[in-house]
Structure 1
Amino acid sequence: MAAQLSVNCNKFNKKARNGEDQPSDHYDDFAVVEANDEECAVERVDRLTKTVTQFQKHLRERVSYYLGYPANHNCEHYLALSTLLQFNINNVGDPFKESDHGLHSKKFEVGVLDWFARLWGIDKDEYWGYVTNGGTEGNLHGILLGRELLPNGILYTSKESHYSLFKIARMYRMDCETIASLANGEMDCDDLRDKLLINQDRPAIINITIGTTFKGAMDDLDLVVKTLKYCGFSDNQFYIHCDAAIFGFVVPFLKQVPKLTFKKPIGSVSISGHKFLGCPMPCGVLITRKRYIDMLSTSIEYIATVDTTISGSRNGHSPIFLWYVLNIKGISSMLNEMSITVVFERPPDREFIHQWQLQCLGNMAHVVIMPHVTVEMLDRFLCDLVRKRNIWHGIRQPRCVAEDIGICNCVCSVHA
C-alpha cells in the first residue's frame, strides 16, 4: 500500500502541475472507510498509521524542492508544542475580552499582538488587533474598516496586488480602481495620481502592498501619501491598508528602506504567520488603530464576549505557535559597524561553548568571522544554537542581555 500511495501522490502531483482534473480513482487510498467486522481496531490503526507515515515521507521529499512559494518550512521546533493538540482551543470573539469559553489562548494572542504593535510603532493603548486565519482574512478586515469609515470610498490597488484584494472588492461591492505598476512591480503613483484626480469627490481607500506576490516589490508608502496630499485628500478622506503578508516582518529590520509604521497615516497592517515565520498552520496578524474597531463591535450574550473579528470561532493554537516562535527566534546580538565580531547571549551549556570554541564574558559570548569561517559553518552553528535554545529554555523567555549590548540591539519579546 505504501508503494501504491507513493505512485498515487506522484501521479497527483504530475497532473496538478499539468492543470488536469483528478479522476476519483486517484483518491481511493485516501477515502474515509467505516470500520467493519473483518478488520480489528489494531489492524485499522496500523493501516492508518502506514498511510500517514507514507504521506509524511512524500512531504519530506517535496519540501526539499520547495522554492517558488512563500512559506518557511523550518518547523521542527514546533514539535515541542505537540502535546497541546490534545485540547480543542478556541479564541472565539475579541482577543482583549474574556468569555465563558474557558479553553482559549487569548493571553498568548495579546502577547503576540503587543509584539507586533511595538514592531510597527503604535502604543499599547492605541492599537487593536487579532490573530487571523491568514493574510486574506487580514486584508478582509483592513479593507472592511476602511469601507466602514468611508462608506462612499473607492478602493485603489495595484494590478500586482494579491488576488484577495479584487475578491474583496467584489464581496463588499466596492468600486475598485486598478492602478498600473512599474516594471519592478511597485504601484505606479503617476497612474494613482491621475485616477485620484478624476475621483476627487469621493474618499480613497488605498491598499499598499509590502512585497508583491510575484516580483516581491514594495509599494512606496511615502510617495502614496504625498500623492494623496497633492490631489487634495485630507487625512479624514483616505484610509490606507498595508498588505505586508511576507515583508511586514522583514522591513522593520532593514535600515535601507522606509519604515512601515503607524507613525505614518496608515489605518491597518496585516501579515501572514505561516510564510516568513513558518507557523505550520495558515494564520496571520492584523493590527489597526483602536479607535476604529468600535464600528465593528457587537456584544454577543451567549458567548459572553464581543464580536469584532471576521471569523467567529478562531484557531486557539495559532497564537501559541506564533508566541513560541517569536520567543525562540529573538536572539539579542550586536555587530559594531565595520566589525567582524558578533556579540550575542551566552549559551547556558558548557558543552555547547566547548564544542563551538566560544569566548564568553559575563552574560555575553561572541563569534569572530575570520577568513576560514564559511557560510556553511555559520549555518550549522545557527541551526545548532536555535535547536539547543529550545532545550535550554523550553517555552520560557531566554535570558535578555540588553544591559550588556544595548537595548537597540536586543530583539527579545520585550525590546524588539
Structure 2
Amino acid sequence: MAMTSHVTDQLLPTVVSKKEEKKIEIEEKNGDMNLAIAQGKGHTQAHLASLINQYVDTLNQCSLRNLGFSDNQDFNYDALASLLHFHLNNAGDPFLGSNFSLNSMAFEVCVLNWFANIWEIEKHNYWGYVTTGGIEGNLHGILVGREQLPNGILYTSQDSHYSIFKIARMYRMKCIKVSTLVSGEIDCIDLKAILLAHKDKPAIINLNIGTTLKGGIDDVDNVIQTLHECGFSSDQFYIHCDGAVFGMMLPFVKQAPNITFKKPIGSVTISGHKFLGCPIPCGIVITRLQYINALSKDVEYIASKDVTITGSRCGHAPIFLWYAIKRKGLIGVQNEVQKCIINARYLKHRLRDVGICAMLNKFSNIVIFERPLDKDFIRRWNLACYGNIAHVVVMQHVTIEMLDSFISELLHKRPTWFKDGCYKPLCVAKDIGSENCVCSKHNYDVIQNLWSK
C-alpha cells in the first residue's frame, strides 16, 4: 500500500497556491495578453475567445509587414473548417493506406501525383509523401542517398540551408562545403577540384533549387557534367534537390531551368506552406520507387509500411495542399508566379533608383540589399539578414503598396543610422557583386546625382 500511495502521489498534479499561480501568470504575460495556464480551474470560452481575438489582431498587424520570409500569407481555407472536428493521422505508406481509417491518404496521393507530373516522373516509377516541411524532405532525400551509397560523401554549397549541415551531423556523414558564385549558385570549378580529390568515395550531392538567402539556382546539368568529367558513373552518385520555394515556381517560368526526373536526380523536396500557402507547415518529397525498399519496414500494428521520417503525419496538410492546387489550377499557379517575379523586379528597381544596393537573380523573387542598421526596423518588417545584407521575399501577399510603404520608411529612417546624417551606402560588392553595389567606390555617378537633388 505504501508503494502504491507513493506512486499515486507522483502522478497527481502539484497543488499550487493562489499566490504562486499569480506569480506564474505575471511571468508568462506576453505583451498585454496573459497567456499563463492556470493550475486550478479552467477559463470560460468567452475569456479564451478574447485572448485569441487579441492574438489575431497582432497577427493581422504583422502580416502587413511580413517581407523577409518565404511564407505565402494569401490564402483562405474557411471552407475546410469542418475538418477541424476530426483528428486525421496519415500513419504509414500513403500508397498502401493503414488500418486507421481517419486518414487523408487519398488526398495525399492526388497531391503527389500532381507534383510527379510537373517534375516529369511516371506514377509507377516514383514514391513520396507529404512532410512537415522542407527540412523533413531534406532528411528523407539525403537518407535515401545515404542508404544507396552508405560510404558516400555529402557535398553541398556554402549557401545551402542550415538543415543540410544539421542532417550531416545527425547521420554522421562526412560533409564538404563547396564555394558559391556571387549569385549563390554552386561553383562547379570548386566542386570539380573537390570531387577529384575524393574519387575513392561515392558522391551524395545536395543541390539548391533556389538558395535561402539569394535565390541562387544550382545548375543541375553542369553538376552532372562535372560528375561525369571526374569519372563518377551514374551508380556512384546521388543527387537530392532542395526545391523549397523555387521547386514549385520554376516549372511555371519560361526558359527557367527544368527540374525533371528525366535527368539522373534521386529526389526533390519543396515546402508546401511557402508558395502554395498553408496554415500548417508542410512539404512534399518525391523520390524514385526503386530506392524505397531499403528504407521500408512492415509494421503490423498499423497494417502498413514504415518508410517516412516521422511515422504519424498530419492528415490535414494534404487536404489543404489539395484544395489550394484544385482551386488555383495550373493557370492560377502560373499567374501567381509571374506576379511575384514582376513585383520583385519592381522592388529591385525602386531600391536602385533611390541609391540602395540591390540584387535580383534571374527567375527569382528574392531581392537582396544592404542590411538596415536598426534592429527595430528589421523586426518591424520581419527581415532576414546575414552579414551586411538582408532580403525581401516577394510572395503573393506582398503588394506594390506594401513595397512602397517599406521603401518610404527605409528612406525616412536611413539617414538617422549615420552619425552625421550623411548618405553613405554600405559597400556590399563582395556579397552581391560590384555591378549591384552603389557605394561611392563602385557607383560614383549615382551617388553624385543623389547628392545633387
Provide TM-score, normalisation by structure 1.
Answer: 0.72
Aligned match of 1:305:
304
Aligned match of 2:444:
none
Distance in 1, Cα, partners of 2:156 & 2:92: 30
Deviation per residue, 1:32-59 (Å, 9 max, x gap): 12453xx8x6xx1111100000000100
TM superposition shift of 1:98: 2.0
3-state DSSP of counterpart to 1:138: helix
Aligned match of 1:326:
325
Deviation per residue, 1:298-317 (Å, 9 max, x gap): 00011111101001110000
3-state DSSP of counterpart to 2:130: strand
Distance in 1, Cα, partners of 2:93 & 2:140: 13
Distance in 1, Cα, partners of 2:39 & 2:257: 58
TM superposition shift of 1:99: 1.3
TM superposition shift of 1:257: 1.8
Distance in 1, Cα, partners of 2:153 & 2:119: 26
3-state DSSP of counterpart to 1:192: helix
Deviation per residue, 1:259-318 (Å, 9 max, x gap): 100000000000000101111110000000000000000000111111010011100000
Distance in 2, Cα, partners of 1:242 & 1:257: 16
Aligned match of 2:37:
32
Letter of the structure 1 residue corresponding to residue 277 of structure 2: G
Aligned match of 1:360:
none
Aligned match of 1:73:
73
Distance in 1, Cα, partners of 2:46 & 2:259: 51
Aligned match of 1:404:
none
Runs of 4+ in 1 over 2 A off after TM superposition: 23-28
Distance in 1, Cα, partners of 2:157 & 2:143: 18
Contact between 2:183 and 2:216, CA under 8 Å: does it hold in 1? yes
Letter of the structure 2 residue corresponding to residue 282 of structure 1: P
Q: Which residues of 2 match residues 227-242 of structure 1 at below 5 A?
A: 227-242=226-241
Letter of the structure 2 residue corresponding to residue 83 of structure 1: S
Contact between 2:28 and 2:35, CA under 8 Å: does it hold in 1? no
Aligned match of 2:250:
251
Moved more, 255-264 or 143-152: 255-264
Aligned match of 2:102:
103
Contact between 2:89 and 2:312, CA under 8 Å: does it hold in 1? yes
Structure 1, unaligned runs of 5 or more = 1-22, 336-378, 380-416
TM superposition shift of 1:332: 4.8
TM superposition shift of 1:258: 2.0
Distance in 2, Cα, partners of 1:264 & 1:147: 19
TM superposition shift of 1:75: 2.0
TM superposition shift of 1:116: 0.2
Q: Which residues of 2 match residues 276-287 of structure 1 at below 5 A?
A: 276-287=275-286
Aligned match of 2:225:
226
Aligned match of 2:289:
290
Q: Is residue 161 of structure 2 the alignment partner of residue 156 of structure 1?
A: no
Matched residue count: 308
**RMSD after superposition:** 1.8
Letter of the structure 1 residue corresponding to residue 141 of structure 2: G
Contact between 2:28 and 2:36, CA under 8 Å: does it hold in 1? no
Distance in 1, Cα, partners of 2:275 & 2:330: 17
Q: Is residue 257 of structure 2 the alignment partner of residue 261 of structure 1?
A: no
TM superposition shift of 1:29: 1.0
Distance in 1, Cα, partners of 2:146 & 2:139: 10
3-state DSSP of counterpart to 2:124: coil
Provide TM-score, normalisation by structure 2.
Answer: 0.66
Aligned match of 2:133:
134
Distance in 2, Cα, partners of 1:232 & 1:146: 19
Percent identity (aligned): 55
Letter of the structure 2 residue corresponding to residue 315 of structure 1: C
Distance in 2, Cα, partners of 1:283 & 1:168: 18
TM superposition shift of 1:255: 2.1
Distance in 1, Cα, partners of 2:296 & 2:116: 20
3-state DSSP of counterpart to 1:244: strand
Distance in 2, Cα, partners of 1:330 & 1:90: 27
Q: Which residues of 2 match residues 362-401 of structure 1 at below 5 A?
A: none
Alpha-carbon distance change, 315 to 25 in structure 1, aligned in 2, over 3 angstroms? closer
3-state DSSP of counterpart to 1:250: helix
TM superposition shift of 1:331: 5.4
Distance in 2, Cα, partners of 1:25 & 1:119: 47
Structure 2, unaligned runs of 5 or more = 1-25, 335-398, 400-453
Distance in 1, Cα, partners of 2:207 & 2:222: 11
Letter of the structure 2 residue corresponding to residue 159 of structure 1: Q
Distance in 2, Cα, partners of 1:256 & 1:269: 20
TM superposition shift of 1:111: 0.2
Distance in 1, Cα, partners of 2:331 & 2:219: 30
Aligned match of 1:113:
112
Contact between 2:29 and 2:36, CA under 8 Å: does it hold in 1? no
Contact between 2:179 and 2:190, CA under 8 Å: does it hold in 1? yes
